C-alpha cells in the first residue's frame, strides 16, 4: 500500500522557520494537502494543492513541492503553532484511495 513519510518531530524556537517534509512516490503526480491538529481537536486544513492557503490561515504558513517531496514551511513560528501536522495525498492509481503521512509533532521551544 502507498505510504507518505514524515519526520516524527521538529523543534524550533519562536520566530524561527520550521520546515516539515513529506515524501511519497506519487507526489509528482498527485497534490498534497497539510493539516494542523491540536490536542483534543479535529484537524484543520492549512495548505491545499501543494501550496495554496485556505482563507483564514496565516500567511506564515506556506507549502512547496519538489519531486517526491513536499514541504510545509512555517515562517516566524509562534507558540500557538505547536501542534501535530499531517500531510495527505492519493496514490497514483486514480482510484480515490487516499493516505495520510504519519504526522510530525512541532515543538516550539
Q: Of the ranges 9-17, 62-70, 72-80, 86-94, which one interacts with other proteins (CB under 8 A)? A: 86-94
DSSP-based three-state secondary structure for 105: strand
Radius of gyration of the chain (CA): 13
On whether the CB atoms of residues 100 and 34 are closer than 8 A, the answer is no
Judged by CB under 8 A, which of 18, 22, 24, 35 binds other proteins?
35
99 binds other proteins (CB under 8 A): yes
Per-residue cell: 45: 486544513
**What is the smallest separation between the CB atom of 100 and other proteins, expressed in angstroms?**
4
- Phi and psi, residue 78, nearest 5°: -115, 160
Task: Give the residues lining the site for other proteins (CB under 8 A).
Answer: 1, 30-31, 33, 35, 37, 42-43, 45, 48-49, 54, 84, 86, 88-90, 93-103
Amino acid at each position: 500500500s502507498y505510504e507518505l513519510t514524515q519526520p516524527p518531530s521538529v523543534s524550533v524556537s519562536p520566530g524561527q522557520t520550521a520546515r516539515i517534509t513529506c515524501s511519497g512516490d506519487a507526489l509528482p503526480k498527485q497534490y498534497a494537502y497539510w493539516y494542523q491538529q491540536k490536542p483534543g481537536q479535529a484537524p484543520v486544513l492549512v495548505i491545499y494543492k501543494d501550496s495554496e492557503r485556505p482563507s483564514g490561515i496565516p500567511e506564515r504558513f506556506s507549502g512547496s513541492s519538489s519531486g517526491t517531496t513536499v514541504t510545509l514551511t512555517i515562517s516566524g513560528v509562534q507558540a500557538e503553532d505547536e501542534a501535530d501536522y499531517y500531510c495527505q495525498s492519493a496514490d497514483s492509481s486514480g482510484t480515490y484511495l487516499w493516505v495520510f503521512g504519519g504526522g510530525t509533532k512541532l515543538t516550539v521551544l
